[in-house]
C-alpha cells in the first residue's frame, strides 16, 4: 500500500452555553460556557482523522508543514508539534487526530496499535465542585450506585482563606463515614497552577504537611498537586514524610520535566494529559519512564469527551493505570456537557469501567448537527 498523504487540516471552533453554571473548584469564576476545537486531518485516501481536547493555540500558519506529508510519519510530525508548542502554543490534538487516522488506515483501534494490553479500564469519578459535607456524601453514594469504585474529591475551600482546608477534611470525613471503604478516594488540592485571573498563592510545604497527614489518616489513595508545580524540593520532602502517594504533572509542558520530576523523586503518580502535553506519541514515552521507575502513570483527562477517549486509548494500550480519570459531577458537569460534540457520550459500565471496542481509530463518532449549531469559527 502506498503512503497515505495528508491533503488538508481543518480546524473548527464551537461553544456550548449552559445553565446552571459550573463552579469548578480550581476557578474563582463560575463557568457558563464550554469551548471546543475540532481538528480534522484529511488524506488522499479519503480517510479523515479527528480529535479535540485543546484549543490549538499556535497552529495558525503551520498547516503547510504537514500537508503533502506521509500521514504515518508520526514521529516527524511530533517533533514539529513540539517545536510549534515551544514557539507558539500547544497543538497536541493534531497528534491525537494523526493517531485516529493511523488506526483507521490500519483498521485497528488505537489502544491495540499502542500495545493492546487491555481495553477495559477502571475509571475514577473525578468531581469538580465543592459540595457541603452532607451533599458530597450523597454524591458519593450516587457514584457508588452507578458502578464507580473510586472517587476524586476537591480540596479548595481554603483558596481564599488559608485555614479552610479543615472544611475540606470535614467533607472527606463525611464521605468516609457514609461509604466506608467501598470507594477508593483521591484528593486533588489543585495547588499546581492557577487560572489566568487568579492571583492567590499555592500552599507551602508547611501548609501541605498537616493536610497530607489527615489524608493519610483517612486512607486516601493519592494526594494530587499539594504544592506549586515548580516546588520540587517540597514535593520530594512531602513524599518522604507520608506513605500517601503524591500525584501531579497535569499541566507540565515538557517531557523532559517528567524525566526530572522522576529523577528528583517528586512524584508517585504521573498525570500528563495527551490532549494538553505531548500527545499520544509523547506520553507513551512518559508511560515507559513510569514503568521503568515503578511509578503510576494515569493521564489527566479533564478536557472534553474526545480528550477522555484519546487518553483512555493511551492508558489501555500501555496498561498499568490503576484508575483513569472520568470527569463527571452531575448536574453541573454531566456527560451531555462534557461530550456535547460526540454522537454518543463515553460512559462507564456497571462495574465503573471504561470499555473500548474494536472500532478503528479512536472509535468516537461526532454529532455533526450539534457541531453546526454550536460553531463559532
Binding site for Mg ion (CB under 5 A): 188, 250
Q: DSSP H helical segments within the chain, as ranges?
A: 74-87, 93-106, 110-113, 133-145, 165-179, 205-217, 232-241, 255-263, 279-292, 305-318, 335-338, 368-373
Residue closer to Mg ion (CB basis): 62 or 239: 239
The nearest distance, CB 8 to Mg ion, in angstroms, is 35
Which residue has its beta carbon closest to Mg ion? 188
Confirm if 281 and 317 have CB atoms less than 8 A apart. no
| CB within 8 Å of 359: residues ≥ 6 apart | 109
Residue closer to Mg ion (CB basis): 188 or 231: 188
The nearest distance, CB 189 to Mg ion, in angstroms, is 9
- Residues 270/271/276/280 CA torsion (nearest 10 deg): 70
CA 145/CA 200 separation, integer angstroms = 37
3-state class of 325 per DSSP?
Answer: strand
Confirm if 112 and 359 have CB atoms less than 8 A apart. no
3-state class of 98 per DSSP?
Answer: helix
Residue closer to Mg ion (CB basis): 104 or 232: 232
The nearest distance, CB 271 to Mg ion, in angstroms, is 7
The nearest distance, CB 300 to Mg ion, in angstroms, is 6
The nearest distance, CB 122 to Mg ion, in angstroms, is 18
| CB within 8 Å of 226: residues ≥ 6 apart | 189, 191, 203, 208, 211, 212, 235, 238, 246
The nearest distance, CB 298 to Mg ion, in angstroms, is 11
Grid coordinates belonging to 143: 457514584
Residue closer to Mg ion (CB basis): 250 or 329: 250
Residue closer to Mg ion (CB basis): 26 or 66: 26
Residue closer to Mg ion (CB basis): 250 or 268: 250
Amino acid at each position: 500500500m502506498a503512503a497515505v498523504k495528508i491533503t488538508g487540516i481543518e480546524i473548527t471552533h464551537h461553544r456550548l452555553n449552559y445553565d446552571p453554571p459550573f463552579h469548578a473548584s480550581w476557578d474563582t469564576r463560575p463557568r457558563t460556557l464550554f469551548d471546543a476545537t475540532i481538528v480534522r486531518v484529511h488524506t488522499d485516501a479519503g480517510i479523515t482523522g479527528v480529535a479535540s481536547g485543546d484549543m490549538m493555540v499556535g497552529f495558525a500558519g503551520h498547516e503547510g508543514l504537514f500537508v503533502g506529508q506521509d500521514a504515518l510519519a508520526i514521529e516527524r510530525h511530533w517533533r514539529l508539534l513540539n517545536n510549534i508548542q515551544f514557539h507558539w502554543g500547544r497543538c497536541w490534538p493534531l497528534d491525537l487526530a494523526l493517531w485516529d487516522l493511523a488506526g483507521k488506515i490500519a483498521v485497528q483501534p488505537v489502544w491495540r496499535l499502542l500495545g493492546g494490553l487491555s481495553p477495559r479500564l477502571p475509571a475514577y469519578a473525578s468531581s469538580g465542585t465543592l459540595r457541603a459535607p452532607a451533599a458530597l456524601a450523597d454524591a458519593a453514594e450516587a457514584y457508588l450506585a452507578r458502578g464507580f469504585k473510586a472517587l476524586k474529591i476537591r480540596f479548595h475551600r481554603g483558596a481564599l482563606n488559608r485555614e479552610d482546608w479543615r472544611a475540606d477534611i470535614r467533607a472527606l470525613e463525611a464521605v468516609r463515614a457514609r461509604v466506608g471503604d467501598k470507594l477508593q478516594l483521591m484528593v486533588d488540592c489543585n495547588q499546581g497552577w492557577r487560572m489566568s485571573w487568579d492571583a492567590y498563592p499555592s500552599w507551602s510545604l508547611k501548609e501541605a504537611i498537616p493536610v497530607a497527614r489527615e489524608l493519610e489518616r483517612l486512607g486516601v489513595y493519592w494526594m494530587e498537586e499539594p504544592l506549586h508545580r515548580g516546588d520540587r524540593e517540597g514535593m520530594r520532602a512531602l513524599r518522604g514524610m507520608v506513605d500517601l502517594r503524591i500525584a501531579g504533572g497535569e499541566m507540565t509542558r515538557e517531557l523532559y520535566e517528567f524525566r526530572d520530576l522522576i529523577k528528583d523523586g517528586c512524584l508517585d503518580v504521573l498525570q500528563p494529559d495527551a490532549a494538553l502535553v505531548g500527545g499520544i506519541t509523547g506520553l507513551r514515552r512518559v508511560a515507559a519512564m513510569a514503568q521503568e521507575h515503578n511509578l503510576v502513570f494515569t493521564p489527566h483527562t479533564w478536557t472534553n469527551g474526545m480528550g477522555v477517549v484519546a487518553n483512555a486509548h493511551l492508558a489501555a494500550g500501555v496498561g498499568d493505570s490503576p484508575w483513569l480519570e472520568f470527569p463527571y459531577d452531575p448536574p453541573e458537569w454531566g456527560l451531555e456537557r462534557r461530550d456535547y460534540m460526540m454522537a454518543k457520550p463515553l460512559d462507564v459500565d456497571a462495574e465503573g469501567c471504561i470499555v473500548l471496542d474494536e472500532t478503528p481509530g479512536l472509535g468516537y463518532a461526532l454529532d455533526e448537527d450539534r457541531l453546526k449549531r454550536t460553531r463559532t469559527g
